Amino acid sequence: MSIEFSKKLTAHETPIPGVVLYDLPVHGDSRGWFKENWQREKMMALGLPDFRPVQNNISFNEKAGTTRGIHAEPWDKFISVATGRIFGAWVDLREGPSFGAVFTAELDPSQAIFIPRGVGNSFQTLEDNTAYTYLVNDHWSADAQDQYTFLNLADETANIAWPIPLEQAELSDKDRAHPRLADVVPMPAKKILVVGADGQLGKALRILYDGDTSVEFAARAEFDLGSAESFTARNWKNYSTIINAAAYTAVDTAETPEGRTSAWAVNAAAVVRLAQTAVKHDLVLVHVSSDYVFDGTHENHAEDEPFAPLGVYGQTKAAGDATVSVVPRHYIVRTSWVIGEGNNFVRTMASLAKRGIEPSVVNDQIGRLSFTEDIAAGIRHLLQSGAAFGSYNLTNDGAPQSWAEIAADVYELSGQPRDAVTGVSTAEYFRDKPAAPRPLNSVLELTKIKNSGFQPRLAVDALAAYCGQLGALE
């Protein structure tokens, strides 16, 4: 066998999404050869996922013609040849449009290939005494075999051109008995888990992902964030992402002794558990934040503005954000003035307008509405587009308004005069009332989310559509 020495470390895409073939630098002389089979820093620079391998396996094959596979396992693999030479064949057995795609290549010790979870792996040795190595990111267990997916080596659809005909090759009885492609049950994608799924945002996510079996929704009854058992009872190997749609949002009650305890439990302590789970199992964690982490003294709040919360609610949300920020794969989605299904400011104003009541509404707090439909769409965009991890402001777009101006818009959309709404200052509105301090400016800078490819709707258009839905429900 002749090995090509001193290749440049190079990545080659293949017809199967996520499967990447690598040329490896092999250094040799009369004594033999040496190679860096796995070099995390260099390979990540080439785009290889940081798949956090935990186990290394070696398959030694005494005779040429030994053929193994086609096995799709519930973990990622980085595969290379230690000695000898193989013909490798890989078939995509994952749910999705690339199901059944095939890639083949001859590999010697100067090459390696990354095989994602659910892609069937098989090889045929072309030389005696060939050793085939696997670096995998999960520990093998007998229970895991229930999640394997198999394809027959002789499948006519895959039509793999084995160099040594299978009738002349060495196969196991199990490999001979695997099903044809038409009978293969594809390996399902890892799931997205939405916790807090019965809140305003959770309900919007339910609508957005309706019919998508890869998204699982858990209300408090199914996943109690305050219970350690909720975190230990799940097999997190079957999940890719957690979307935390749960929050304690009673801003004024959070200032009371009981409310303070509850706010810290939900917005901070529970988030610590979520972050620990995400780090341990290499999950993406999506966490929804709030304009209340700022004091409202800046004209436009950018994602990197230092926290300066005014009240307990904002303090607990800032604590949750700080925790999530250390998760390697995270999205912090910061919103303001959330409107969705359930009790909210717009519903209240529409009800008052219908009853002919003329309210006094705060006119010195400025911001933009965030409709849950748009927050949900923005979260899905971040996950699907593979946007850079980090914090993103996400509200509806358009000119900032005061609460009084928004109330007047609701009255006008409800067929009532705008001047039925009277503007008052925050200090006047809350005089002699127990209330948490509020930022006077809640305008969030939207450049970053727009640059990621997501364009939020104009708040005035979203408000008109929302009020139209309220009217249709009457």
Give the model confidence (pLDDT) of 279-290 as tens digits.
999 999 999 999
- Phi, psi dihedral angles at 132 (to 5 degrees): -115, 125
On the question of pLDDT at 2 being above 70, the answer is no
What is the predicted pLDDT for the residue at 473? 52
Q: Give dist(CA 246, CA 199) in Å, integer.
A: 7
How is residue 82 written in tokens? 């230690």
Closest CA to 251 of 186, 312, 172: 312
Number of residues assigned to the chain: 474
**Residue of 141 and 258 predicted with greater confidence:** 258
List Cβ neighbours of 56 (8 Å cut-off, separation of 6 or more): 133, 134, 135, 136
Q: Give dist(CA 173, CA 176) in Å, integer.
A: 5
Q: Give dist(CA 90, CA 160) in Å, integer.
A: 9
Strands 191-195 and 215-218: parallel
Beta strands of 235-294 (E only): which ranges? Answer: 239-244, 284-290
Q: Give dist(CA 178, CA 181) in Å, integer.
A: 9
Tell me whether residue 71 is one of the annotated catalytic residues: yes
* Confidence category of residue 474, pLDDT binned at 50, 70, 90: low
List Cβ neighbours of 249 (8 Å cut-off, separation of 6 or more): 313
Closest CA to 205 of 49, 39, 382: 382
The one-letter amino acid code at 35 reads K
Give the active site residue among 22, 134, 209, 292. 134
Give the active site residue among 22, 71, 132, 466. 71
* Confidence category of residue 7, pLDDT binned at 50, 70, 90: confident
SS3 state at 373: helix
Q: How far is CA 183 from its chain centroid?
A: 31
- Phi, psi dihedral angles at 167 (to 5 degrees): -70, -15
* Per-residue pLDDT tens digits for 230-274: 998 888 989 999 999 999 999 999 999 999 999 999 999 999 999
Sign of CA dihedral 367, 313, 304, 44: negative
Closest CA to 270 of 234, 306, 317: 317
Q: Which domains does the chain have, with CATH numbers?
A: 10-183 (2.60.120.10), 191-473 (3.40.50.720)
What is the predicted pLDDT for the residue at 6? 74
% residues pLDDT > 90 (the chain):
86
Tell me whether residue 22 is one of the annotated catalytic residues: no
Structural contact between residues 129 and 45, judged by C-beta atoms closer than 8 angstroms: no
